């Protein structure tokens, strides 16, 4: 019988050991319906996940916060929060001002104006709550990375929701100020072309993740 090589304690498959060393416990939040929609860093998959998580969190803000549609819209587009309302109704040309069609336009304008005023009243509160929610959806690694960014103190002091989201996106997509432009481009391109569709991922989800990486 051939002699068997004695097994050394702790010895195992190199592949298993590599997986153990490279594994990272997923971060889940405590907010109902947003448990898996978090912001994390340290792996290329979090660049694509940023887009899906942002959409889910923005939808949550619009649904759960009162008169928060402008805040949710700004979050989705990473644009300044704006309350859209015309200063005056745009009446039809060539018809009398008291024409019934103009009466309908004026009525709709007044209703939209009332909605806009309510949104304005809740704006500061909704931005503050959304800012806190976004931080709550961040892993400790993401929070640490964001706090270390130059200029973050001003973002926090001003409770600047959109700038906070831009900082988070930068970290998730590995946009670092101290990385040279050429190297950053190579790394982003590598991440894009090595992104594959896993068996459990739908075509729509894969396309959404792929387009998120295109925008990195």
Task: Using alpha carbons, list the distances in angstroms from residue 186 to 39, 66, 82, 191, 192.
Answer: 23, 44, 36, 9, 10
Identify the helix (H) or strand (E) that includes residue 75.
helix 69-77
Predicted confidence (pLDDT) per residue in 172-184, tens digit: 987 543 344 444 4
Q: For residues 78-86, give the mean pLDDT.
A: 86
Is the pLDDT at 168 greater than 80, yes or no?
yes
Beta pairing partners, 138: 39
The Cα 66–Cα 74 span in angstroms is 16
What secondary structure letter does DSSP report for 39? B
Predicted confidence (pLDDT) per residue in 28-66, tens digit: 777 889 998 999 998 888 888 999 999 999 999 999 999
- Whole-model pTM: value is 0.66
Q: Is 125 exposed, middle or buried (0-12, 13-18, 19+ CB in 10 A)?
A: middle
């Amino acid at each position: 019988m051939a002699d068997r090589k004695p097994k050394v304690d702790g010895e195992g498959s190199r592949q298993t050991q590599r997986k153990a060393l490279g594994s990272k416990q997923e971060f889940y939040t405590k907010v109902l319906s947003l448990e898996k929609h978090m912001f994390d860093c340290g792996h290329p998959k979090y660049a694509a996940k940023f887009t899906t998580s942002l959409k889910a969190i923005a939808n949550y803000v619009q649904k759960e916060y009162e008169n928060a549609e402008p805040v949710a819209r700004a979050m989705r587009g990473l644009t300044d929060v704006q309350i859209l309302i015309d200063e005056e109704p745009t009446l039809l040309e060539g018809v009398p001002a008291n024409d019934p069609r103009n009466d309908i336009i004026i009525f709709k304008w007044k209703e939209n104006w009332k909605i806009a005023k309510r949104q304005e009243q809740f704006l500061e509160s909704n931005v503050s709550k959304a800012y806190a929610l976004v931080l709550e959806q961040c892993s400790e690694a993401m929070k640490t990375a964001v706090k270390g960014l130059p200029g973050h103190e001003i973002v926090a002091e001003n409770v600047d929701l959109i700038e906070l989201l831009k900082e988070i996106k930068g970290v998730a997509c590995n946009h670092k100020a101290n990385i040279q432009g050429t190297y950053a481009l190579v790394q982003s391109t590598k991440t894009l072309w090595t992104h594959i569709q896993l068996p459990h991922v739908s075509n729509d989800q894969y396309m959404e993740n792929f387009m998120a990486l295109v925008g990195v």
